[in-house]
Amino acid sequence: MVKVAVVTGGTRGIGAAICEVLHEAGHTVAATYYGNDAAAKHFTERTGVPHFKFDVSAFGACEAGLAQIEKDLGPVDILVNNAGITRDGFLHKMTPEQWTEVLRTNLDSLFNMSRLVVGGMRDRGWGRIVNISSINGQTGQVGQTNYAAAKAGVIGFTRALALEVASKGVTVNAIAPGYIDTDMVRAVPESVLEKIITKIPVKRLGKASEIARAVAFLTDETSGFITGTTLSLNGGQAMV
């Protein structure tokens, strides 16, 4: 059945691959973004998936943005909370802004977006929420106390919400990608990234499309018995 899907941070990297796979599955897809206008324009030209610009870290902006999406496309059945940023630095040098920006974008956004669509999913008796966590929320990572805290929080949020909506036909799951070949990972200093790749048993970065496949699976009509889980897709780097 055709559903309306919203993917935050959907115009680049993992989010763009998720939009493409949901679009190919026949869903009506909306990609949200906040930073890069040129990338959003190019994404829509390439895929035909419309983009909506708003700040997922701000509740009011999400209210307005989702109202526009629902007006244009209809009520949201599938939400993929993918938007995320890094502001890496050792804790002894980290600024309050580095901490707050990451927590707001990577974790508060889950509250903002899910809060605004979960009522409708409950009422209609069907919904799929997928939250993108990270291997670094499971294992920790040098320079990422902010990011690891937010991504670990994503897993707790997923489990708690999954329990709340399990009897309403709504599933909530997390995916914890390892190091995927995206702009975010390519921003890691080259010498550090080389060290990281040597520790990945499959000896390569993951592809965004490999994460998107898992989102397609979790959001499928037939996946109603899978809820509250975290799928770790990391090339064997952490078997959690």
> Contact positions toward ligand CAA, by CB under 6 A?
86, 88-90, 134-136, 141-144, 147, 179, 184-185, 188-189, 192, 195-196
Q: How far is 67 from 74, CA to CA, in rounded Å?
A: 9
To ligand CAA, the closest distance from the beta carbon of 193 in angstroms equals 8
Phi/psi for 216 (5° steps) reads: -60, -45
Nearest residue (CB) to ligand CAA, 25 versus 85: 85
**Burial classification of residue 59, based on how many CB atoms lie within 10 Å of its CB (0-12 exposed, 13-18 middle, 19 or more buried):** middle
Instruction: Report CA 49 to chain centroid distance, whole Å.
Output: 17
Q: How far is 173 from 171, CA to CA, in rounded Å?
A: 7
To ligand CAA, the closest distance from the beta carbon of 97 in angstroms equals 15
Report the b/e string of 133-165 with b at 16+ CB within 10 A. bbbbbbbebebbbbbbbbbbbbbebbeebbeeb
To ligand CAA, the closest distance from the beta carbon of 166 in angstroms equals 27
Nearest residue (CB) to ligand CAA, 12 versus 27: 12
- Residue closest to ligand CAA when measured from CB atoms: 143
Which residue in 33, 34, 147, 179 is the catalytic one? 147
To ligand CAA, the closest distance from the beta carbon of 175 in angstroms equals 11
147 is catalytic: yes
Nearest residue (CB) to ligand CAA, 89 versus 228: 89
Q: How far is 157 from 198, CA to CA, in rounded Å?
A: 32
Nearest residue (CB) to ligand CAA, 69 versus 135: 135
* Residues annotated as catalytic (active site), given as ranges: 147
